[in-house]
């Protein structure tokens, strides 16, 4: 059996290696247009930032490793330009020489990825404008930065007037994870960074109130955010610099521009081969990663996947799914019945020591689908036992189905151990867990790692309290109709208070019940929702109509003060 794999990075390389492990006899040819196979594109922003100093560190396994360890015929600098499904052949072009050869296949695997979106804007090809997708891209950015700093350090040496090195300016177009990671790394390299984002928030997959917290954090670390503004073009300015022009008429001077406008599935070959393309613009595959042609498989960023939670077709450009899909395609080609379960978009980004991570459906996705069968909670637990040094709060939003308690999605932000909470919740979603399962989850605990009630348990307990009716909640967007009762201490109100709220500290509540109305719904507020929960329990048992305002004051401002706590 001869298998040709197009694309030699995440999906392609994992397919080749797995196939060899399953089938010693298969003839495997892996072609890659670029100079490297199996490189860590996820590490590229950190190479730009010099965190990963050596380019070689990004090369996970080179072509020789694939040849010697896996007996895979690897051809780099080799582009697949045409598939003839009827003849079962692929035309390959040597990128350097232009020579075209034809290879036959029994099975073909496409893993061409998703190139960066590059709109035909005026000036987009000017020097100093870069993408971050490949090793040569990162090298070009580093060379550009070095060139600038050499020039400036030279000036510093030769001119007595230039004792202060001018701050170099970077403009990053796009506030997704590649844009933000690169922005952070440019800050570390001394740039004054502006991120221009067309949407009204950064990190589009998460909900806006959670994105606000991340926005506050990155702004606190020096990144300027220009939201609700699209880039209109680029102009050359004096001294090899650029001006970025935006649709709102603003202009931003830049010594370097990074384009990070998102990615689009590469379907060129698939379309030429007549393969079915889905409604989201990716190659349509079944759960075995088989395209509409039974001998052609497709994996990775180029394919549409079923969203595991919503059941919708979606495009999820992540390394984990690409690797798993490559492995599944290899399994199926080798005769095994492996299936891809769908993807839930589990993602993580580190920014200036903080972490944002998310999994499953966001509230805005559920709203777009007109799904009303969900509830959400906000919580702000400590990353580990508060008495052990170094505990940091985690802002969490957990979304679950009202009708059957099934966990639908989670988003979390914080400076310590956010990843393990979202990883645990991601696994729970994939296993179809309910919030009652989270209550019962047995997780690692010692004070430096967590709490006897881990944030994951805590989320389950809160959500279960809501569903069991032990803690009725309301959200701030519908708070105006109730009687607001603030159970914090008076000194806390000096920092921030909710207009119109009556203050009875929790410790005085039982003695002052006579001050509260019995004919109106009482909405109870505290800082994060915990004391309000205790108060709500008192009031419900005393016959009041009470609800907890979910997430307390931290959710009212959507945690403008979260990071200071």
Ligand X SMILES: Cc1cc2nc3c(=O)[nH]c(=O)nc-3n(C[C@H](O)[C@H](O)[C@H](O)COP(=O)(O)OP(=O)(O)OC[C@H]3O[C@@H](n4cnc5c(N)ncnc54)[C@H](O)[C@@H]3O)c2cc1C
> Which residues are known catalytic residues?
526
The single residue among 4, 5, 9, 52 that binds ligand X, judged by CB under 6 A, is 9
Question: Is the Cβ of residue 343 or residue 434 nearer to ligand X in the bound state?
Answer: 343
Provide the pairing of β-strand 192-196 with 296-298: unpaired
Phi, psi values for residue 443, rounded to 5°: -120, 165
> Rounded distance, CA 444 to CA 437, Å?
16
357 binds ligand X (CB under 6 A): no
> Rounded distance, CA 306 to CA 502, Å?
49
Q: Identify which range of 1-9, 97-105, 225-233, 502-510 contacts ligand X by CB under 6 A.
A: 1-9
> Rounded distance, CA 307 to CA 428, Å?
15
Question: Is the Cβ of residue 178 or residue 467 nearer to ligand X in the bound state?
Answer: 178
113 binds ligand X (CB under 6 A): yes
Question: Is the Cβ of residue 220 or residue 320 nearer to ligand X in the bound state?
Answer: 320
Question: Is the Cβ of residue 309 or residue 553 nearer to ligand X in the bound state?
Answer: 309
Angle between helices 208-220 and 177-188 (to 10 degrees): 10
Shortest reach from residue 435's CB to ligand X, in Å: 27
Question: Is the Cβ of residue 210 or residue 273 nearer to ligand X in the bound state?
Answer: 273
The single residue among 10, 141, 361, 377 that binds ligand X, judged by CB under 6 A, is 10
Question: Is the Cβ of residue 81 or residue 152 nearer to ligand X in the bound state?
Answer: 81
Residue 455, both tokens: 């944030």
Residue 293, both tokens: 């042609």
410-to-13, 307, 392 alpha-carbon distances in Å: 31, 15, 19
31 binds ligand X (CB under 6 A): yes
Binding mask 284-323 for ligand X (x = CB under 6 A): ----------------xxx--------------xxxx-x-
Closest CA to 458 of 410, 416, 390: 410
> Rounded distance, CA 305 to CA 342, Å?
6
Question: Is the Cβ of residue 39 or residue 476 nearer to ligand X in the bound state?
Answer: 39
133 binds ligand X (CB under 6 A): yes
11 binds ligand X (CB under 6 A): yes
Question: Is the Cβ of residue 211 or residue 484 nearer to ligand X in the bound state?
Answer: 211
The single residue among 32, 197, 215, 454 that binds ligand X, judged by CB under 6 A, is 32
Shortest reach from residue 115's CB to ligand X, in Å: 8
- 8 Å CB contact between 225 and 273: no
**Hey, is 438 helix, strand or coil?**
helix
Residues in 178-207 that interact with ligand X by CB under 6 A? 178
Residue 398, both tokens: 């957990």
32-to-35, 66, 115 alpha-carbon distances in Å: 7, 13, 14
Question: Is the Cβ of residue 31 or residue 539 nearer to ligand X in the bound state?
Answer: 31
- 8 Å CB contact between 255 and 170: yes
Residue 45, both tokens: 């922003």
- 8 Å CB contact between 139 and 34: no
522 binds ligand X (CB under 6 A): no
Shortest reach from residue 6's CB to ligand X, in Å: 5
Shortest reach from residue 138's CB to ligand X, in Å: 8
33 binds ligand X (CB under 6 A): yes
| Cross-strand pairs, 236 | 242
Q: Identify which range of 33-41, 304-312, 394-402, 438-446 contacts ligand X by CB under 6 A.
A: 33-41
Q: Identify which range of 109-117, 158-166, 289-297, 384-392 contacts ligand X by CB under 6 A.
A: 109-117
Burial class (CB in 10 A: 0-12, 13-18, 19+), 404: exposed
DSSP letters spanning 198-214? SSSSSSTTS-HHHHHHH
Shortest reach from residue 124's CB to ligand X, in Å: 18
Residue 8, both tokens: 């030699």
The single residue among 28, 52, 83, 132 that binds ligand X, judged by CB under 6 A, is 132
Question: Is the Cβ of residue 258 or residue 484 nearer to ligand X in the bound state?
Answer: 258
Shortest reach from residue 429's CB to ligand X, in Å: 17
Closest CA to 77 of 58, 96, 100: 96
41 binds ligand X (CB under 6 A): yes
The single residue among 266, 304, 331, 486 that binds ligand X, judged by CB under 6 A, is 266
Give the contacts of 64 (CB within 8 A, at least 6 positions apart): none
Number of chain positions touching ligand X (CB under 6 A) = 32
Total Cβ atoms within 10 A of residue 192: 18
Binding mask 422-461 for ligand X (x = CB under 6 A): ----------------------------------------
Could you tell me where the beta strands, DSSP code E, fall in 231-373?
231-236, 242-246, 251-254, 256-259, 296-298, 305-306, 313-314, 347-351, 354-360
Shortest reach from residue 216's CB to ligand X, in Å: 22
The single residue among 4, 70, 111, 527 that binds ligand X, judged by CB under 6 A, is 111
Shortest reach from residue 488's CB to ligand X, in Å: 39
CB-based closest residue to ligand X: 300
Structure-derived torsion over alpha carbons of residues 369, 301, 326, 4, reported in degrees to the nearest 10: 130
532-to-21, 204, 448, 475, 553 alpha-carbon distances in Å: 57, 31, 27, 13, 11
45 binds ligand X (CB under 6 A): yes
| Cross-strand pairs, 292 | none
The single residue among 7, 128, 205, 529 that binds ligand X, judged by CB under 6 A, is 7
Shortest reach from residue 73's CB to ligand X, in Å: 14
Residues in 76-95 that interact with ligand X by CB under 6 A? 79-80
Site residues for ligand X per CB under 6 A:
6-7, 9-12, 31-34, 41-42, 44-45, 79-80, 111-113, 132-133, 178, 266, 269, 300-302, 317-320, 322
């Amino acid at each position: 059996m001869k298998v040709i794999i197009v694309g030699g990075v995440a999906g392609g390389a994992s397919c080749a290696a797995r196939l060899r492990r399953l089938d010693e006899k298969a003839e495997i040819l892996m072609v890659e247009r670029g100079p490297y196979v199996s490189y860590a594109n996820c590490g590229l922003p950190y190479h730009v930032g010099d965190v990963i100093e050596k380019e070689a560190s990004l090369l996970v396994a080179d072509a020789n490793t694939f040849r010697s360890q896996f007996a895979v015929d690897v051809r780099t600098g080799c582009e697949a330009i045409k598939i003839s499904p009827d003849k079962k052949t692929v035309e390959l072009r040597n990128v350097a020489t232009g020579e075209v050869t034809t290879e036959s296949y029994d099975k073909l695997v496409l893993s061409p990825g998703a190139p960066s979106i590059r709109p035909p804007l005026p000036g987009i090809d000017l020097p100093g404008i870069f993408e971050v997708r490949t090793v040569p891209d990162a090298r070009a950015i580093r060379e550009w930065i070095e060139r600038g700093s050499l020039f400036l350090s030279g000036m510093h040496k030769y001119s007595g007037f230039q004792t202060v090195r001018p701050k170099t300016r970077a403009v990053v177009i796009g506030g997704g994870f590649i844009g933000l990671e690169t922005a952070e790394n440019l800050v570390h390299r001394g740039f004054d960074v502006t991120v221009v984002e067309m949407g009204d928030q950064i990190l589009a997959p998460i909900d806006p109130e959670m994105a606000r917290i991340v926005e506050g954090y990155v702004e606190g670390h020096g990144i300027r955010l220009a939201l609700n503004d699209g880039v209109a073009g680029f102009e050359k300015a004096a001294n090899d610099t650029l001006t970025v022009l935006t649709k709102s008429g603003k202009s931003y001077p830049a010594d370097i521009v990074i384009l990070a406008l998102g990615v689009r599935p590469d379907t060129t070959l698939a379309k030429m081969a007549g393969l079915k393309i889905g409604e989201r613009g990716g190659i349509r595959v079944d759960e075995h990663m088989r395209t509409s042609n039974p001998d052609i498989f497709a994996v990775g960023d180029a394919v549409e996947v079923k969203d595991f939670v919503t059941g919708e077709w979606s495009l999820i450009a992540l390394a984990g799914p690409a690797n798993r899909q490559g492995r599944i395609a290899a399994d199926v080609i080798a005769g095994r019945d492996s299936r891809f379960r769908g993807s839930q978009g589990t993602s993580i980004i580190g920014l200036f020591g903080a972490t944002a991570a998310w999994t499953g459906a966001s509230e805005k996705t559920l709203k777009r689908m007109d799904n009303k069968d969900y509830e959400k909670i906000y919580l702000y637990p400590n990353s580990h036992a508060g008495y052990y040094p170094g505990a940091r709060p985690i802002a969490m939003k957990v979304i679950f189905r009202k009708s059957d308690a099934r966990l639908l999605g989670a988003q979390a932000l914080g400076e310590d151990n956010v990843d393990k909470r979202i990883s645990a919740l991601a696994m729970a979603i994939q296993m179809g867990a309910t919030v009652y399962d989270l209550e019962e989850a047995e997780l690692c605990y010692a004070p430096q790692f967590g709490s006897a009630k881990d944030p994951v348990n805590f989320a389950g307990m809160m959500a279960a309290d809501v569903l069991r009716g032990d803690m009725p909640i309301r959200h701030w967007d519908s708070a105006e109709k109730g009687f607001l009762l603030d159970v914090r201490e008076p000194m806390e109100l000096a920092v921030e208070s909710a207009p119109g709220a009556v203050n009875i500290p929790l410790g005085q509540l039982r003695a002052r019940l006579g001050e509260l109305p019995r004919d109106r719904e009482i909405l109870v507020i505290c800082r994060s929702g915990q004391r309000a929960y205790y108060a709500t329990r008192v009031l419900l048992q005393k016959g009041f109509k009470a609800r907890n305002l979910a997430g307390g004051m931290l959710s009212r401002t959507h945690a403008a003060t979260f990071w200071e706590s």
